[in-house]
Chains A and B, each alone.
Chain A
Amino acid sequence: MPQSPLFSLALGLVVSIAGGASAENLADLPFPVWNVTPPLISKDDPRTTIEHPENRLPIVVAPFEEHVRKPVPDTIPAEPIDAIALQKGTMSLSVMGKTLTVDTTTWSLPAIADAIPDSLLAPKVAMHLSVDARTRLATHHEALQKQPGLRVVDSAEDSEYVWLATNWGLYCLTRNELIRHPNYGVGGPLATEVTAVAIDSRGALWTGSPMGIGVRDADGTWRAIRGRDGLPVEDITAIKVDSNDRLWIGTRHGLIHYRPYDTGRQWYYREGLRYIPNNVVNDIAIGNDGKSIYTATNLGLGQLDIVTTTLEERANTIEALLNKRHRRLGLVVAADLKDPKDPDSLDLPDNDNDGLWTAYHVVAMSLAYGETSDPAFKASAMEGMHALYMLQNASGIPGLVARSVLPLEEAIARGKDKDEQWRLTPDGTSYWKSDTSSDEIDGHYFAFYAYWEHIAKDDPAEREKCINQIRTLSDYIVDNGYVLLDWDGERTRWGFWAPELLNNNPLHYLESGVNSLQILSFLKTTYYITGNEKYQEHYMKLITEHHYLSNVLLEKKVHPDSNNHSDNQLAYVAWYPLLQLEHDPDIRDTLHKAVRRHYKAINRDRSSFFYFITATIDADYVDLESAAVNLKNIPTDRRQWTQLNSHRADVVFDPRVDRFGKAQLITVLPADERQFDRWNGNVYLADGNRSDNRVDAGADYLLPYWMGRYHGFIAEAPAVQTAPPTSPAASTSN
């Protein structure tokens, strides 16, 4: 195949840098060299570390709050709700000109009444205004009506004043008079269209507008809170303050939680069906001692519960659901909901990387067992590992791993019998998917390592099986010249680790590092498990004769316009066994340099998984605090709800699109505000892919969680029987 001139140039460049080209020459090149090979400078010497407090690790993660949407019964119509009020278990809703009374224990509707039309007071105000305020206001109706079309849209009261938000300014009703605020834009609400008003216990007056929030602090000074200050959406529709002076803010696109007086994370953007039934939020009510937030939206009533949980509780919930809903032939798979409203109506389709995703779970459970010795984790790991063996043995060709397997009937139902990539198993009971990739093999070795280390090594029934399986797989690769041959004797498209393909080959420049890393990791793991020197000899041969260690040193390819997030994941999956098993000081030093270099490319991603693996060799260099925070932010509900952020006023776009041409942000949003993927996608994407009915198995959470626990990077706070008087969330900062 002809060589692309660009790749030739790129390759030549790498070689020339390795040969020590002078900086002057490099400056003349048509693109910046640091995009090709970030230099390892003195501060990157792996012997350097960052100073940390004495008892930094483990990071103890105290119980924290999670916002969980709770479905509201169908008795509440899915219609635009203008206003909501809550009093002692009774809720009032203003729906299409009617006032509905709701009993919140039974969700029945004891009363539906026609609302009294009021040209001056919007339903929200009519619902909230106290009798006293109403009486005082009545004497000023005439004054307000002098402004044509004026409408009071929100109100707030303290012992002295009644504040009125109107479409023509902010009014203050004192005991004697009605005063219109003089300033708008500065020194007042941000616009004369005041859409919401609220008072907190510290004397701050909060006003909403289509431009953002204007707040008058207790000292009387006004300031603006807009996108640049962290406000995700500026078109404000409602503001409510809870008993801790934390705000719930309704907007025309989503719900916002704001903690102005807290340190740590202050903004929580709650957009999309994960949190609310519709993104147009008209009103908010805070109930259940601040633990339930009710939203009146354009499509019915929403309930968002504030649930206190721990990382371990989340892990246990996910693990239980995973075993209940996400096992197919023992494999761990994502599911599609047949009925969006029924979480049990699941379809479990095959996936090109059933092995890789199942391996995540096998490793997670092996580490969990290593950490806790709980036999349930061992059983769960074993179920997945045996499913991987099933994939390894399905083709009937020893060592040729299947991408996926489907029983005969299901395979035919899914049309696989007409797909050449799907082959009948030798016993005729199933179909297996061929053309297996290096990604898939990467997962199998990842699982081999952890399963052996924590389970098979010390279990006579598992030990031999594990040795035989890994030996068969490795021999098939090694004996065929470091490639994976398919059923037809041809190499699979992506199954190659051979020097003649990776070295000096512009076509595979991008794979040269990660695939070199993989084969070294595979061989090291096989040597460790089998004890057979053959694999160590191949390992050393690739290093000494084919400079695979040099390839690994430049493993991460960092062209800014083609940052491959999937390759990050494939590399880290291979890094993990290798970093645990290589103890030769010279080789280990090189691995240390290489993984630090890779970490530099991903150290803004807040990836708990990558960070923990890096930390197994370089803990003092890694931002483990962010890794822990990221775990807290991963929602327990693994449904892949669409989450949109590109409209936000507080985000900054990267001028470059990603390698698929999609718009991306310059900083990563909290994991509870964006679509999460299995550590292999672009975390900077503004808008997640739309797949509301896809439910992930959740192994992507379990893996870093148990890895962090096992390696001592994170720990659960000791259980406290009697809860302290302050809110538990106050002790968590993220």
Chain B
Amino acid sequence: MKSRTRSGVNASLFAVLLFLASPSWSAELKPFPALVRVVDLSLGESAQVTLHNGSEVELKLTSLEEHRDAVRHAVYGSTVGLSINGTAVALDAGPYHLPERVAGVQVDCTATGGLNSNGTPADWGLKKDARIRLWPADSPLLQPGSMIYPVDQGWLATRTWYDNEPVHAGNTIKPQIYYHAGMDIGASEGLTQVIAATDALVVQRGETVLDGHTEDTPCSPRYDVVYLMDGRGWYYRYSHLKEIAPNVQPGTVLRQGEPVGIAGKEGASGGWSHLHFEIKSRQPSGAWGTQAAFAFFHEAYVRDFDLKLYANARPAHMITAGESVTLDGSRSWSADDSITDYTWTLHDGTTRSEATVSVPYAKPGFYCETLKVSNRHGETSYDFAYVMVLDPQDLTQYTPSVNINHYPSRDIQAGQAITFKARAFRMKGGEESWDFGDGSPPQTTRSPEEAAPLAPEGYVAIEHTYGASGDYIVTVSRTHDNGLKAAAKAWVHVAPAK
């Protein structure tokens, strides 16, 4: 065995991996350290942290207020009191939050103990009260170029469940919450390409796991799952793939951007077509845990696609009829802090012009609310907030819902055909009514009610071509026999034909 002098957990892990893996890749996949520093703290606990640039940070967890929703008591975020080098900081944390630049560092909090209280503790490997991540104030979150967005799809073009967002999963609402771990990106089944986010060694293809990666790794064989390992020693899970690309073979190295497969709804997808992308890394507790990736995606996408502005109306909400929900567009982003206008167009046609609005819902149903943001450069962006409004008589029952995706979703030109797909869930009767937002007559489809979750015919597809450039809001809606209505929307930005 060759002698290697390295320090740190990841590095020593690498020594083992390099020894075990075939020599062909070790020359190709260069190990490198991650920029992020992860610290798990208990309330009142302090830690001295050395950032990747060598600077020292004195960190203390001074308070922690977890926020839970009223229906499921699921943690949807928290206010974290930190002392950073003696400066008191109140950090807003939760899904779709970016690190804050405060007290000379960039900092976020990606998990708190409440997730363990009614979730699945193994997902995070968090054994203390809060997980804090730190970078130097002026540092990128990742080495530039070391990660790209893993699907050929527009930013927030589809439904997502990101990081620890509480998922509307299963047939009934149970006390145990499924906090998502990783990034669920809605995608068009059979159409959307999944690509390698990083240079990586293929450690699992379906049921086959590379020797040396079967024990004490996140790998878990399943026919629709690929695991890749990158130069940081992080494992990347890609699941629900309809097809796995032929070049994905255990022991080989994929270059960033090479195909991993085609998105689908295989495996434990619940029947909705999406890529489950999840980074697993060694956490301070010693256990494998999910490395929150929203901020990484944001950084990579903004740089790679020169994104200047995006609306963000997420995460999804769940309330009971008769209550109000706070729709929050304040996590919309612009490169130069240039957002001037937030407009919410609600399901009843009314509009509200604040970033954060409180909206009452009298009737159960599955609502989709539209957020439009504009900046001072005259650019606009749209996003949608899904609100599931439960019947207070039975808080174990989800409402019917509908899911939408489209392909392509980037660089669309007038005259180009777009494939839209939709699937209704927990729906009985009715049909999908499509409004493409361009004044064309409504179209109807009928996704099957009784189809098994993984049935190939689960989604219905419909093509549409926009004749002129512009921003179009596509709405698909369907009404259950019991009168409950479900709607979903997509934003299509069409450029003039070349």
Enumerate chain B residues within 8 angstroms of A183, measured Cβ to Cβ. Answer: 43, 63-65
Q: Which residues of B contact A224 (CB under 8 A)?
A: 117
Known contacts A211-B117, A211-B118, A226-B117, A187 near B68 by CB under 8 Å: no
Measured CA separation A148–B44 after assembly (Å) = 30
Cβ of A210 to closest chain B Cβ, rounded Å: 5
The 0/1 profile, CB within 8 Å of A marked 1, for residues 355-387 of chain B is: 000100000000000000000000000000000
Chain A contacts for B62, CB-based, 8 A: 182
Given contacts A193-B68, A211-B73, contact A186 B81 (CB under 8 A): no
Cα distance, A224 to B116, chains bound together (Å): 13
Known: A185-B78, A226-B117. A192 touches B68 (CB 8 A): yes
Is the Cβ of A185 less than 8 Å from the Cβ of B66?
Answer: yes
Task: Assess whether B75 is interfacial by the CB under 8 Å rule.
Answer: yes
Given A211-B118, A226-B117, A184:B70 Cβ within 8 A: no
Which one of B64, B81, B129, B358 has the greatest number of beta carbons of chain A within 10 Å?
B64
B168 on the A face (CB < 8 A): no
Cβ of A191 under 8 Å from chain B: yes
Q: How far is the CA of A192 from the CA of B112 in the complex (A)?
A: 15
Which residues in chain B, 38-78, are within 8 Å of chain A measured between CB atoms? 42-44, 62-68, 70, 73, 75, 78
Q: Are B64 and A191 in contact (CB under 8 A)?
A: no
A211 vs B118: C-alpha distance in the bound complex, in angstroms?
A: 9
Residues of chain B within 8 A (CB-CB) of A192 are: 65-68
Quick check: is A190 within 8 A (CB to CB) of the other chain? yes
Also in contact, A191 and B129, with CB within 8 A (given A183-B63, A183-B64): no
A186–B40 CA distance with the chains assembled, in angstroms: 14
From B44, B68, B75, name the one whose CB has the most chain A CB atoms within 10 angstroms.
B68
Closest Cβ of chain B to A381, distance in Å, is 51
Select from chain B the residue with minimum beta-carbon distance to A186.
Answer: B129
Question: Complex Cα distance A226/B113, Å?
Answer: 14
Tell me, rounded to whole Å, the shortest Cβ–Cβ distance linking B141 to chain A: 26
Report A547 CB to chain B, min CB distance, Å: 52
Contact A193 B75, beta carbon cutoff 8 Å: no
Q: Which residues of B contact A169 (CB under 8 A)?
A: 65
The chain A residue with its CB closest to the CB of B118 is: A211
Contact bitstring B108-130, A, C-beta under 8 A = 1, else 0: 00001110011000000000010
User: A45-84 vs B: 1/0 string, CB under 8 Å?
Assistant: 0000000000000000000000000000000000000000
Q: How far is the CA of A133 from the CA of B73 in the complex (A)?
A: 31
In the assembly, what is the distance between CA of A678 and CA of B353, in Å? 68
Residue interface bits A146-188, CB-to-B below 8 A is 1, else 0: 0010000000000000000000010000000000001111111
Is the pair B63, A182 in contact by a Cβ cutoff of 8 Å?
Answer: yes
A186-B43, A186-B129, A190-B117 given; A210·B73 CB < 8 A = yes
- Assuming the A-B contacts A148-B358, A190-B117, A226-B117, are A185 and B73 also in contact, with contact meaning beta carbons closer than 8 angstroms in the complex? no
Residues of A contacting B42 in the complex (Cβ-Cβ under 8 angstroms): 186
Specify which of A190, A211, A226 lies most central, judged by the most chain B CB atoms within 10 Å of its CB.
A211
The distance in angstroms between the C-alpha atoms of A182 and B63, with both chains bound, is: 6
Which residues does chain A contribute within 8 Å of B358, judged by CB atoms?
Answer: 148
A185 and B63 in contact (CB under 8 A), knowing A148-B358, A191-B73? no
Minimum CB–CB distance from A249 to chain B (whole Å) comes to 17
Q: Are A184 and B117 in contact (CB under 8 A)?
A: no
Q: Is the interface of A mostly helix, strand, loop or mixed?
A: loop
Q: How many residues of A contact B (CB 8 A)?
A: 19
CA distance A197 to B332 in the complex (A): 39
A-B pairs with CB below 8 Å: how many? 58
> Would you call B65 and A185 a contact (CB within 8 A)?
yes
A182, B81: Cβ atoms closer than 8 Å: yes
Shortest Cβ gap from A714 to chain B (Å): 41
CA distance A660 to B73 in the complex (A): 35
Query: A722 to nearest B CB, angstroms?
Result: 50
B residues within 8 A CB of A649?
A: 175
Please indicate the chain B residues that have their CB under 8 angstroms from the CB of A211 in the complex.
68, 73, 117-118
Whole-angstrom CA separation of A191 from B75 in the bound complex: 9
| Residues in B whose Cβ lies below 8 Å from that of A182 | 62-63, 65, 81
User: Chain A residue with minimal CB distance to B67?
Assistant: A192
Cβ contact within 8 Å between A191 and B66: yes
The chain B residue with its CB closest to the CB of A222 is B43
Task: Give every chain B residue within 8 A of A188 (Cβ-Cβ).
Answer: 65
The B-contacting residues of A in range 611-667, CB under 8 angstroms, are: 649
Interchain CB contact under 8 A, A187 and B67? no
Cα(A184)–Cα(B77), bound, Å: 12
* B residues 71-111 touching A (CB-CB < 8 Å): 73, 75, 78, 81
Q: Per-residue 0/1 for B166-178: is the Cβ within 8 Å of any A Cβ (1 yes, 0 no)?
A: 0000000001000
Give A188-243 interface residues, CB cut-off 8 Å to B.
188, 190-193, 210-211, 224, 226, 234
A192 CA to B175 CA in the complex, in Å? 18
Query: Looking across the interface, which residue of chain B has its beta carbon closest to that of A211?
Result: B73
A185 and B114 form a contact (CB under 8 A): yes
Give the residues in chain A near B117, CB-CB below 8 Å: 185, 190, 211, 224, 226
**Chain A: CB-nearest residue to B117:** A211
State the CA gap A185–B75 with chains docked (Å): 9
Contacts of A226 in B (CB 8 A): 117
Distance of A184 Cα from B66 Cα, bound (Å): 6
Which residues of chain A have C-beta atoms less than 8 A from B73's C-beta? Answer: 191, 193, 210-211
Q: Given the known A-B contacts A148-B358, A191-B66, are A185 and B81 also in contact in the complex, defined by CB atoms under 8 Å?
A: no
A186 and B68 form a contact (CB under 8 A)? no
Complex Cα gap A291–B77 (Å)? 44
Q: Which residue of A lies closest to B130 (CB)?
A: A186
Closest beta carbon of chain A to B392's beta carbon, Å: 13
A634 to B114, CA, bound (A): 39
Task: List the B side residues contacting A187 at CB < 8 Å.
Answer: 43-44, 63-64, 129
Q: How far is the CA of A188 from the CA of B65 in the complex (A)?
A: 9
| A184 touches which of B44, B65, B118, B175 (Cβ 8 Å) | B65
- Give bound CA distance, A193 to B72, whole Å: 12
Q: Given the complex of chains A and B, what is the CA–CA distance between A191 and B66 in angstroms?
A: 7
- Residues of A contacting B118 with CB < 8 Å? 211
**Taking the nearest CB of chain A, how far is it from the CB of B40, in angstroms?**
13
Contact partners of B75 in chain A: CB under 8 A:
185
In chain A between 14 and 35, which residues have their CB closer than 8 angstroms to a CB of chain B?
Answer: none
Q: Which residues from chain B contact A193 at a C-beta distance below 8 Å?
A: 68, 70, 73
A184 and B67 CA atoms in complex are apart in Å by: 8
Cβ distance B327 to chain A, nearest Cβ, rounded Å: 14
CA distance A169 to B79 in the complex (A): 13
Most buried by A among B81, B112, B117: B117
- A186 near B67 (CB under 8 angstroms)? no
For B175, list chain A residues within 8 Å (CB): 234, 649
Nearest CB in chain A to that of B73: its residue: A210
CB pair A185–B70 under 8 Å, yes or no, is no
Residues of chain A lying within 8 A (CB to CB) of residue B43: 183, 186-187
| Nearest CB on B from A702, distance (A) | 41
* Residue from the set B42, B65, B358 with the largest chain A CB neighbour count within 10 Å: B65
Of all chain B residues, the one with the shortest Cβ separation from A226 is B117
Shortest C-beta distance, A199 to chain B (Å), equals 22
A414 to chain B, nearest CB (A): 40
Q: Which of chain A's residues have a CB closer than 8 A to the CB of B63?
A: 182-183, 187
CA distance A184 to B62 in the complex (A): 12
Q: Give Cα A187 to B112, complex, Å.
A: 12
Interface residues of A (CB under 8 A from B): 148, 169, 182-188, 190-193, 210-211, 224, 226, 234, 649
**Sampled A-B contacts (13; CB under 8 Å):** A148-B358, A185-B64, A186-B112, A186-B114, A187-B43, A187-B44, A187-B63, A187-B64, A192-B67, A211-B73, A224-B117, A234-B175, A649-B175
Given A148-B358, A193-B70, 17 more contacts at CB 8 Å? A182-B63, A183-B43, A184-B65, A185-B64, A185-B66, A186-B64, A186-B113, A186-B129, A187-B64, A188-B65, A190-B117, A192-B65, A192-B66, A192-B68, A210-B73, A211-B73, A649-B175
Task: Spell out B's residues near A (CB within 8 Å).
Answer: 42-44, 62-68, 70, 73, 75, 78, 81, 112-114, 117-118, 129, 175, 358
List the 8 closest A-B pairs by CB distance, nearest first.
A185-B66, A182-B63, A187-B43, A185-B114, A184-B65, A186-B129, A210-B73, A191-B68
